[in-house]
Amino acid sequence: MRHILSVLIENEAGALSRVTGLFSARGYNIDSLTVQTTEDPTLSRMTIVTHGSDDVIEQITKQLNKLIEVVKVIDLNEADHIERELMLIKVRATGKDRDEMKRMADIFRGRIIDVTEKTYTIELTGTGEKLDAFIKALDPAVILETVRTGASGIARGERVLKI
């Protein structure tokens, strides 16, 4: 099962390496990883998307909590949460396909952020499933390049990840 771990970690050199090294050493896969400094510049927040049974995720959480740099870990899947991902996709858009591509971007609430004679670059945000659906709706031959950020997530309501 897919899990999103939100990790509060000290903002220092090598901290990211120790977290990814933990996953690597124990054979756990990271599907996506995003990191950003928090409102407190001494702390960073990692969003790690991984797969595993509840036992595996519990083991990962315990191992993360053993790292000196890790301040707090929560599994966002334990409660309601919001997640978003950003995708930039460059597509071929010539002739009559230009209108169709603009219509597709509008349907998925995407924004065309760069235009050339032959291409559009479209910005899309949403869940991974929404972004996958957009890609699936396109003819694979028109996709020139795709870049995705990986998921970022936050708990709904009063639940917060803070020290």
pLDDT tens for the chain, 163 residues: list them: 999 999 999 999 999 999 999 999 999 999 999 999 999 999 999 999 999 999 999 999 999 999 999 999 999 999 999 999 999 999 999 998 899 999 999 999 999 999 999 999 999 999 999 999 999 999 999 999 999 999 999 999 988 888 8
Spatial CA neighbour of 62 closest among 15, 31, 22:
22
Q: Model pTM?
A: 0.84
**Which H or E run contains 143?**
strand 143-148
112-149 exposure pattern, b = at least 16 Cβ within 10 A, e = fewer:
beeeeeebbbbebbbebebbeebeeebeeebeeeeebe
Strands (E), 29-110: 30-37, 43-51, 70-75, 81-92
